[in-house]
């Protein structure tokens, strides 16, 4: 079994926040891949299903962001999972909006949800970093992440969530490269190779110089015409 954790804050007032893009990602996976209904367990909302050959537990902590590790740790202990069986989907300030990266292990970079997970299960878990961009100044970060995505974000956000869902079976298999390819097909689709250049019209042949009409007069007529 693999554990896919989406990070966010519970409650309708937070649903559209940039900080909740992790919740949005696992919601899209559950919807697209026919997971069972969400139910309450481990201080979280969970849904069970399969991605390819892998059994997957989707988990959305309901403890608020800065205590996310509590529910992740409970679920891990119950199913006797290792931290390497866990993949966390979270917002990433250091990536431009619409960018996605996969990372194995590493620091928490000040993210409160990751910090809490580090405290409960250690650092050896995988992450899917979902770029939301940076407001530019540190003092603006809190208000930025705890604010709804703007209308201008809607198109790229939908592409990212669809791409993450498309690639989820490959991610479950541990194939980060194919997962990223699936995301790229949504966020940066290749240009069509079927477009052919317009057919060049053949150039008109240059006009031929007009030839004078053939002179059919006899020699006597030519001579007489000269003296008229």
Output 27 or 109, whichever has higher pLDDT.
Answer: 27
Question: pLDDT tens-digit profile of 180-227?
Answer: 999 999 998 776 555 455 555 555 555 555 555 566 666 666 555 565
Question: pLDDT tens-digit profile of 13-25?
Answer: 999 999 999 999 9
19 assigned to active site: yes
pLDDT at position 189 is 79
Percent with pLDDT over 70 in the chain: 83
Do 74 and 46 meet the contact criterion of CB atoms below 8 Å apart?
A: no
Task: Give me the catalytic one of 17, 19, 90, 111.
Answer: 19
β-strands 86-92, 54-61: how paired? Answer: unpaired
Question: pLDDT tens-digit profile of 128-163?
Answer: 999 999 999 999 999 999 999 999 999 899 999 999
Domains and CATH numbers, the chain: 2-187 (3.40.50.1470)
Question: pLDDT tens-digit profile of 36-86?
Answer: 999 999 999 999 999 999 999 999 999 999 999 999 999 999 999 999 999
Side by side, the strands of the sheet bearing 54-61 are: 39-41, 44-51, 54-61, 2-6, 86-92, 126-131, 100-104
pLDDT at position 110 is 87
Averaged pLDDT of the chain = 89
What secondary structure does DSSP assign to the chain, as a single string?
A: -EEEEE----SGGGTTBGGGHHHHHHHHHHHHTTPPPPEEETTEEEEEEEETTEEEEEEEESS-GGGHHHHHHHHHHHHT--GGGEEEEEEETTS-TT-EEEEES---TT-HHHHHHHHHH-S-SEEEEEE----SSGGGHHHHHTSBPPGGGHHHHHHHHHHHHHHHHHHHTT-HHHHHHHHHHHHSPPPPS-PPPPPPPPPPPPPPPPPPPP----HHHHHHHHT-
Helices 112-121 and 68-79 cross at an angle (nearest 10°) of 40
Q: Is the pLDDT of residue 109 over 90?
A: no
Average pLDDT over residues 23-40: 97
């Amino acid at each position: 079994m693999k554990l896919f954790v989406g990070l966010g804050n519970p409650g309708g007032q937070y649903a559209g926040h940039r900080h909740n893009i992790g919740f949005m990602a696992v919601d899209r996976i559950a919807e697209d891949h026919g997971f069972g209904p969400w139910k309450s367990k481990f201080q979280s909302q969970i849904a069970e299903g399969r991605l390819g050959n892998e059994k997957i537990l989707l988990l959305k902590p309901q403890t608020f962001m800065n205590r996310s590790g509590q529910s992740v740790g409970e679920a891990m202990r119950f199913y006797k999972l290792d931290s390497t069986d866990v993949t966390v989907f979270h917002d990433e300030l250091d990536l431009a909006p619409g960018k996605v990266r996969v990372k194995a292990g590493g620091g928490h970079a000040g993210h409160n949800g990751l910090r809490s997970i580090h405290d409960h299960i250690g650092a050896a878990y995988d992450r899917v970093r979902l770029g939301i961009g940076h407001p530019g100044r540190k003092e603006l970060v809190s208000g930025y992440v705890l604010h709804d995505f703007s209308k201008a974000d809607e198109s790229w956000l939908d592409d990212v969530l669809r791409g993450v869902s498309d690639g989820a079976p490959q991610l479950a298999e541990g194939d980060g490269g194919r997962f990223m390819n699936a995301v790229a097909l949504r966020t940066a689709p290749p240009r069509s190779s079927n477009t052919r250049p317009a057919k060049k019209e053949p150039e008109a042949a240059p006009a031929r110089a007009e030839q004078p009409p053939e002179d059919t007069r006899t020699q006597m007529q030519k001579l007489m015409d000269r003296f008229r």
